[in-house]
A and B are shown apart, each in its own frame.
Chain A
Amino acid sequence: MTRYILIALFIFGAFFRSTVTFADAATEAAMAADPVAEKRLQKLSEELRCLVCQNQTIADSNAELAQDLRREVRTMIKDGKSDKEIVDFMVTRYGDFVLYRPPVKGITLLLWGGPIALMLLGLFLLQRYLRSRATRINAEEQPLSAADASRADALLKELDPK
Chain B
Amino acid sequence: MNRYYWILGAFAALVALLAIGLNLNPRDVPSPLVGKPAPAFNLNVLETPEKMIGPKDMQGKVWLFNVWSSWCVSCRAEHPVLVEFSKKANVPLIGLNYKEVRGDGNFDVSKMPADEEKKLAFQRANQWLAQHGNPYTLTVMDIDGRVGIDYGVYGVPETYVVDKTGIIRMKHTGPISPDVLAQKIMPLLAELNK
Give A residues with C-beta under 8 Å from B: 51-52, 54, 64-65, 68-69, 72, 91-97
Contact = CB atoms under 8 A, between A and B. Distances in A.
Given A51-B154, A52-B154, A52-B155, A72 B29 contact: no
Contacts of A68: 145, 149
Contacts of B151: 93
A93 B155 contact: no
B193 interface: no
A54 B152 CA distance: 14
B194 to A, nearest CB: 29
B13 to A, nearest CB: 12
Interface stretch (B30-38, B56-64, B76-84): B30-38
Contacts of B30: 95, 97
Given A64-B103, A68-B145, A95 B31 contact: yes
B26 interface: yes
29 contacts: A51-B29, A51-B154, A51-B155, A52-B154, A52-B155, A64-B99, A64-B103, A65-B154, A69-B149, A72-B149, A91-B32, A92-B32, A92-B33, A93-B32, A93-B33, A93-B149, A93-B150, A93-B151, A93-B152, A94-B29, A94-B32, A94-B152, A94-B154, A95-B30, A95-B31, A95-B32, A95-B152, A96-B32, A97-B30
Contacts of B31: 95
Nearest to B173: A51
A95 B150 CA distance: 12
Q: Which of B33, B99, B149 has the most CB of A within 10 A?
A: B149
* Overall SS of chain A's interface: helix
A2 B171 CA distance: 56
A103 B30 CA distance: 16
A135 to B, nearest CB: 17
A83 B99 CA distance: 28
B31 to A, nearest CB: 6
Nearest to A91: B32
A92 B30 CA distance: 12
A95 B155 CA distance: 15
A94 B145 CA distance: 15
Contacts of B155: 51-52
Contacts of A51: 29, 154-155
Contacts of B149: 68-69, 72, 93
Task: Report the 3 A-B pairs with minimum CB-CB distance, sorted nearest first.
Answer: A51-B154, A93-B152, A95-B32
Nearest to B144: A68
Nearest to A110: B17
A63 B151 CA distance: 18
A91 B32 CA distance: 8
Given A65-B154, A97-B30, 5 more contacts: A72-B149, A93-B32, A93-B152, A94-B154, A96-B32
Nearest to A55: B26
Contact of B26 (A54, A91, A92, A96): A54
Contacts of A93: 32-33, 149-152
